[in-house]
Structure 1
């Protein structure tokens, strides 16, 4: 008979924390379901308090983002379904979210989904004022025009490609 060595409390805590992180890596953004909250940079931290409570820190994409309530609920549901009952979700506004936090993989997922991803370097004047060429995510043409500063959500602008004539959202630089 082979016996397994006992786990230390520290090992058990680390395993629980890693399990919570793996669970949270599956929580999707409700407005862009091809992206997880980690992909988009909303998930800022997952830590464990001294009492074993998992703390999940999320940052809104902008202060009035209506999806944050739903994201907090989805985080709580995912943890509860995984058997992690001792948890809390904290909203952190500082530092403010920026499109630079969107992963490179997420930018490609956006493009494949039909949304033009934001350019990197959100602190540039060109990025902030949409003074740059936005490439069509459908056909790759750079001959595009802005139709409206606001698209399907406030964080996106509506564009149209002059080449394929298809409308598309552009995820604005913030």
Structure 2
């Protein structure tokens, strides 16, 4: 059953090998936003084991053209192999990833490093020029968007008019 973020995590009483896989994947950091694990980011969609104990792991990239997808798959396979788990990792693009799948812990980690996390339920408009986004450094709401494209494709670049610091804002999907 999916959790509040839409992720298919281990259910209570889940097989130990499935839990071990989730634990291994929680140590795989996103290469573009290395404060987040791929579990925090919500791209680990499902982990299941067949009757022979072979694991299937489904990953959904943040968007279908994400340049980090190949690296993420390789890192997930490596982490599972290090944990001595026999697993097949596949990329699943439907349903498409949404920022609603970022865990609460992931949102906190983004904020801690100065990246404005997306709101729950994806209600932030990608194009709304009147939207007020507070500066993650000083809290001022006197901010502006500099570019719809930030340090990665999933972020926009903003700046604070009060403290003059630039900052990333995670786009909603």
Partner of 1:134: 133
Matches within 5 A, 1:34-73: 34-73=35-74
Instruction: Give the greater-gyration-radius structure (CA).
Output: 1
Q: Is the 8 A contact 1:121 1:127 kept in 2?
A: no
Give SS of 2:15's match: helix
CA distance in 1, matches of 2:104, 2:162: 26
Partner of 2:148: 149
RMSD: 1.5
With normalisation by structure 1, the TM-score equals: 0.86
Please state which structure has a larger fraction of its residues in helix.
Answer: 1
Structure 1 stretches of 4+ with a deviation exceeding 6 A read: none
With normalisation by structure 2, the TM-score equals: 0.86
User: Unmatched 5+ residue regions in structure 1?
Assistant: 1-12
Number of aligned positions between the proteins: 159
Partner of 1:7: none
Give SS of 2:121's match: coil
Q: Offset of 1:130 from its aligned partner?
A: 3.8
Q: Offset of 1:38 from its aligned partner?
A: 1.0
CA distance in 1, matches of 2:91, 2:77: 13
Q: Offset of 1:107 from its aligned partner?
A: 1.1
CA distance in 1, matches of 2:159, 2:48: 43
The 1:158–1:58 alpha-carbon spacing in structure 2 relative to 1, beyond 3 Å, is: same
User: Unmatched 5+ residue regions in structure 2?
Assistant: 1-13
Give SS of 2:76's match: helix
The 1:51–1:154 alpha-carbon spacing in structure 2 relative to 1, beyond 3 Å, is: same
Partner of 1:17: 18
